[in-house]
């Protein structure tokens, strides 16, 4: 048994339930003749090893309770959008959804991290048909949702990969280049948004 204890089998089920719920939100929007909310979703359960490492790093006991209640990203979904405005459109839908409540928001888009990382993180408290660590059924579980554009996502993937390369000799320069790249991509996101608005207003005038 892992740090997730009896939840080893249940977390993947919560992950797929949440994914389906988000896909349904998107379908409702599309059925209403609005553009799709996102380009694609990436869903994962944090590996038990990575979760145990996180608990230790944060000074929590390495227990199921810490993994599911203190850390709140055992179940994580990344919503990758075409345009910056789509992130806000997703948030509007999630705020209205009756199956979850947003309990924490971190806006790394307005306030990018010093290394250039951009993304919008929320923690939701979701009701699911499983017994939770407090013994309630239906139970409530935390899910972390990261919302970002394709450009932000490609940058984060590259930067994440760099973290695991131990033979880098010029880390400072690479950090500077990565930051510059993040800023250029952010500027492209704004340009793309403007182009989309121009196309939309041209459509309306026809």
Chain residues binding ligand 0O2 by CB under 6 A are 46, 73, 76, 106, 113, 115, 117, 121, 156, 159-160
User: What is the smallest separation between the CB atom of 39 and ligand 0O2, expressed in angstroms?
Assistant: 18
**C-alpha torsion sign, points 123, 129, 130, 135:** positive
Helix (H) or strand (E) holding 118: none
Q: Which is nearer to ligand 0O2, 26 or 146 (CB)?
A: 146
Q: Which is nearer to ligand 0O2, 137 or 173 (CB)?
A: 173
User: What is the smallest separation between the CB atom of 70 and ligand 0O2, expressed in angstroms?
Assistant: 8
The answer to whether 151 touches 188, Cβ cutoff 8 Å, is yes
Q: Which is nearer to ligand 0O2, 10 or 156 (CB)?
A: 156
108 three-state secondary structure: coil
Two tokens, residue 55: 């608990």
- Beta partners for 22? none
Residue with token string 């991509």: 185
User: What is the smallest separation between the CB atom of 65 and ligand 0O2, expressed in angstroms?
Assistant: 15
User: What is the smallest separation between the CB atom of 113 and ligand 0O2, expressed in angstroms?
Assistant: 5
Q: Tell me 70's DSSP state.
A: I
Q: Which is nearer to ligand 0O2, 120 or 130 (CB)?
A: 120
Q: Which is nearer to ligand 0O2, 115 or 191 (CB)?
A: 115
* DSSP conformation letters of 79-94: EEESSHHHHHHHHHHH
User: What is the smallest separation between the CB atom of 106 and ligand 0O2, expressed in angstroms?
Assistant: 5
By beta carbon distance, the residue nearest ligand 0O2 is: 117
CA 93 distance to own-chain centroid: 15
């Amino acid at each position: 048994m892992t740090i997730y204890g009896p939840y080893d089998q249940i977390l993947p089920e919560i992950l797929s339930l949440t994914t389906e719920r988000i896909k349904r939100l998107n379908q409702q929007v599309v059925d209403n003749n609005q553009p799709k909310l996102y380009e694609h979703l990436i869903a994962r359960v944090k590996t038990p090893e990575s979760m145990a490492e996180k608990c230790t790093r944060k000074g929590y006991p390495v227990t199921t309770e810490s993994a599911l209640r203190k850390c709140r990203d055992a179940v994580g979904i990344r919503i990758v959008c075409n345009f910056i405005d789509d992130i806000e459109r997703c948030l509007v839908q999630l705020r209205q959804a009756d199956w979850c409540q947003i309990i924490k928001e971190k806006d790394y888009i307005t306030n990018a991290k010093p290394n250039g990382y951009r993304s919008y993180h929320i923690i939701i408290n979701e009701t699911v048909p499983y017994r939770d660590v407090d013994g309630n059924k239906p139970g409530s579980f935390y899910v972390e949702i990261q919302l970002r554009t394709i450009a932000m996502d490609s940058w984060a993937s590259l930067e994440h990969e760099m973290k695991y390369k131990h033979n880098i000799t010029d880390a400072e320069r690479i950090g500077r280049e990565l930051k510059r790249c993040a800023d250029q991509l952010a500027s492209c996101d704004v340009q793309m948004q403007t182009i989309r608005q121009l196309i939309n207003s041209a459509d309306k005038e026809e």
